Amino acid sequence: MVVSQKVLDSLRDIGLNLYERKLFVALLARGTSTAGELAEIANVPRSRSYDVLESLAAKGFLVAQNAKPLRYVAVDPKDALDRASQKMRDDMEITMKKIEQLKNSDVLKEMTDLYNHGVKLVEPSEITGSVRGRHSVFQHVGTMIKGAKSNIQIITTAQGLKDLHINHYDSLKAAKDSGISIKIAAHNKADGDAFKALSQVAEVKKLSSPAGRVFIVDNKQSLVALTDDTEHQSQDLAFWTKSEHASAGVLGNYFNFLWNSAE
C-alpha cells in the first residue's frame, strides 16, 4: 500500500520529521518489524533508524519489543495519537513548571544582567538571527511589540494585516495605551474588518502594491520576512537584527517612502 501525501503532510504538521514519518507509516504497514527491515522499506539510512524509532517510541507512536534483534510493534493510529497527545501535555506541564521556577530564580537575574550589560560588548550590526516557521515569527513579533518604548512601524501584506489583528491586537492596543506611536502600511486588498479594528490602535494606511512584511521597533531593531506569506507556515522565514543602522536607516527610510506615498 502506498501512503498518500496527505498522510505524510498531516504527520509533519503534528511535529514528525521526515525520517519519523517514513518509519512510522512503514511500521503501520508491517505491524511489527526490525529497524533494519523498516529502514529498507522506508528508504531511511540504517544508521539513523534506531535513533528515530527510539524517538517515535518516546513520543508514543510505537512500542519497542524486548527481543533479539530488537523489534518494533505498531500501535493503532488513534491510540498512537492519543498517547502522543498525552505525552505532549505531560511534557508541556513539566516545561511550564520549570519555566515558572526559572522566572523566580537567581538564574533569571543573571541572564537579565547579561542581556542588559553584556550585549554592549557586541557591535549592533552583529546582533542578528533568523526566525523559521510562522508561529515563531508571530512570537518574535509579539516580543518586539511588547518591548517597544517609543514607536512601532509595520509594512505588511493583506494576509499579514489579518494575522496582526488575530495575533497581536491586544499587544498593539496595550502599546497604544502606553503612548507608543504605531504606524501600519498594509496592502489595499487587506481584510476590511482587520483594517477597521487596527485603525483603532494605530495609524493605518493603504499601499497600492505589495511591499512585503517588515517590523521596525524604536528605530533600533527590525524583522524582515524573507518568504511570501502564501508559503506553507512551516517554510516561513524571517531575518531579525538589532542594528540601528538597518532599522533607522535602510528600513526606516523604506518605511517612510512607502508611508508618504500611501493613501
Is 203 in a helix, a strand, or coil? strand
Residues 25, 131, single domain; the answer is no
Let me know: does 212 contact 159? Beta carbons within 8 Å: no
Let me know: does 222 contact 253? Beta carbons within 8 Å: no
**Cα-flanking dihedrals φ and ψ of residue 30, to 5°?**
-90, -30
Give me the residues of the chain with pLDDT under 50, please: none
**Cα-flanking dihedrals φ and ψ of residue 90, to 5°?**
-65, -45
pLDDT for the residue numbered 140: 93
pLDDT for the residue numbered 18: 93
Residues 6+ apart with CB under 8 A from 1: 29
Q: Which of 44, 78, 112 is the last residue of a domain?
A: 78
Residues 35, 148, single domain; the answer is no
In a domain, 15, yes or no: yes
| Distances 107 to 100, 111, 113 between C-alpha atoms, Å | 12, 6, 10
d(CA 258, CA 251): 11
In a domain, 86, yes or no: no
In a domain, 240, yes or no: yes
pLDDT for the residue numbered 232: 83
In a domain, 117, yes or no: no
In a domain, 98, yes or no: no
pLDDT for the residue numbered 119: 52
**What number of other Cβ atoms are within 10 A of residue 156's Cβ?**
26
Residues 156, 220, single domain; the answer is yes
pLDDT for the residue numbered 201: 93
Please list the residues that pair with 222 across neighbouring strands. Answer: 216, 241
Residues 196, 131, single domain; the answer is yes
Residues 138, 48, single domain; the answer is no
Can you read off the three cell numbers belonging to residue 98? 520549570
The total number of structural domains that make up the chain: 2
Residues 144, 255, single domain; the answer is yes
Residues 70, 197, single domain; the answer is no
In a domain, 96, yes or no: no
pLDDT for the residue numbered 110: 84
- Domain with 39 in it: what CATH number? 1.10.10.10
In a domain, 241, yes or no: yes
d(CA 57, CA 64): 7
pLDDT for the residue numbered 87: 87
- Domain with 152 in it: what CATH number? 3.30.870.10
Residues 66, 138, single domain; the answer is no
**What number of other Cβ atoms are within 10 A of residue 44's Cβ?**
21
Please state at what angle helix 134-146 crosses helix 158-177, rounded to 10 degrees: 30
In a domain, 109, yes or no: no
Residues of the domain holding 245 = 126-261
Let me know: does 27 contact 62? Beta carbons within 8 Å: yes
Q: How many angstroms from the chain centroid is the CA of residue 175? A: 22
